[in-house]
Structure 1
Amino acid sequence: MQFGIFTVGDVAMDPATGRTPTEHERIKAMVAIAQKAEEVGLDVFATGEHHNRPFVPSSPTTMLGWIAARTERIILSTSTTLITTNDPVKIAEDYAMLQHLADGRVDLMMGRGNTGPVYPWFGQDIRDGIGLAVENYALLHRLWREDVVNWEGKFRTPLQGFTSTPRPLDGVPPFVWHGSIRSPEIAEQAAFYGDGFFHNNIFWPKEHTRKMIDLYRERYAHYGHGSAEQAIVGLGGHVYMRRNSQDAIREFRPVFDNSPVMGGGMSMEEYMEQTPLTVGTPEQVIEKTLAFREYAGDYQRQLFIVDGGGVPLKAALEQLDMLGEEVVPVLRKEFAKNRPAQVPGAPTHVSLLSARGTGLAQEQAADLG
Structure 2
Amino acid sequence: MQFGVYSVGDLTPDPAQGRTVGEHERLRAIAVIAEHAEAAGFDVFAVGEHHTGAYVTSSPVALLGYVAARTSRLLLSTATTLITTNDPARLAEDYAALQHLSGGRLDVMLGRGASRSAYPLFGHEIRDSHALAAENYALLHKLWRTEDVHWSGTFRTPLHGHTTLPRPLDGTPPYVWHAAVTSEETAEEAARYGDGFFANHIFWPAEHTRRLIAYYRERSVVHGKGPAVVGLGGQVFVRPRSQDAVDEFRPYFDRSPVYGGGPSLEEYTATTPLTVGSPQQIIDRVLGFREYAGDYQRQLFLIDHAGLPLRVVREQLDILGAEVLPVLRREAPALTRT
TM-score by length of 2: 0.99
Q: Say whether the 8 Å CA contact 2:178–2:196 is kept in structure 1.
A: yes
Q: Does 1:43 align with 2:43?
A: yes
- Matched residue type, 1:282: P
Structure 1 counterpart of 2:306? 309
Query: After superposition, what is the alpha-carbon deviation per residue over 1:140-182, rounded to whole angstroms, capped at 9, x for unaligned?
Result: 0000000121111111100010101000000000000000001
Structure 2 residue aligned with 1:336, among 328, 333, 337?
Answer: 333
> Displacement of 1:265 after TM fit?
1.2
Structure 1 counterpart SS, 2:325: helix
Structure 1 counterpart of 2:78? 78
Q: Does 1:107 align with 2:107?
A: yes
Structure 2 counterpart SS, 1:144: helix
Structure 1 counterpart of 2:184? 184
Give me the whole-angstrom Cα distance separating, in 2, the residues matched to 1:313 and 1:306: 10
Aligned residues: 338
Give me the whole-angstrom Cα distance separating, in 1, the residues matched to 2:320 and 2:49: 25
Give me the whole-angstrom Cα distance separating, in 1, the residues matched to 2:208 and 2:337: 25
Q: Say whether the 8 Å CA contact 2:294–2:337 is kept in structure 1.
A: no
Structure 2 counterpart of 1:256? 253
Alignment of 1:118-267 (within 5 A): 118-226=118-226, 230-267=227-264
Structure 1 counterpart of 2:294? 297
> Displacement of 1:225 after TM fit?
2.2
Query: After superposition, what is the alpha-carbon deviation per residue over 1:232-258, rounded to whole angstroms, capped at 9, x for unaligned?
Result: 000001001111111111111111111
- Matched residue type, 1:206: A
Give me the whole-angstrom Cα distance separating, in 2, the residues matched to 1:206 and 1:10: 25
- Matched residue type, 1:85: T
Note the residue ranges of structure 1 that are not aligned, 5 or more in a row.
342-369
Give me the whole-angstrom Cα distance separating, in 2, the residues matched to 1:330 and 1:143: 41
Structure 1 counterpart of 2:315? 318
> Displacement of 1:66 after TM fit?
0.7
Query: After superposition, what is the alpha-carbon deviation per residue over 1:93-116, rounded to whole angstroms, capped at 9, x for unaligned?
Result: 000000000000000110011110
Structure 1 counterpart SS, 2:308: coil
Q: Say whether the 8 Å CA contact 2:287–2:332 is kept in structure 1.
A: yes
Give me the whole-angstrom Cα distance separating, in 2, the residues matched to 1:140 and 1:162: 12
Superposition misfits of 4+ residues, deviation over 6 angstroms = none
Percent identical pairs in the alignment equals 61
Structure 1 counterpart SS, 2:70: coil
Structure 1 counterpart SS, 2:327: helix
Give me the whole-angstrom Cα distance separating, in 2, the residues matched to 1:117 and 1:5: 26
Give me the whole-angstrom Cα distance separating, in 2, the residues matched to 1:111 and 1:259: 24
Structure 2 residue aligned with 1:270, among 241, 255, 267?
Answer: 267
Quickly say closer, same or farther: Cα 1:333–1:131, change in 2 above 3 A: same
TM-score by length of 1: 0.90
Query: After superposition, what is the alpha-carbon deviation per residue over 1:164-209, rounded to whole angstroms, capped at 9, x for unaligned?
Result: 1000000000000000001110000000000000000001101100
State the superposition RMSD in angstroms. Answer: 0.9
Query: After superposition, what is the alpha-carbon deviation per residue over 1:43-98, rounded to whole angstroms, capped at 9, x for unaligned?
Result: 00000011111111111111111111111000010111000000000000000000
- Matched residue type, 2:93: E
> Displacement of 1:301 after TM fit?
0.3
> Displacement of 1:340 after TM fit?
4.8
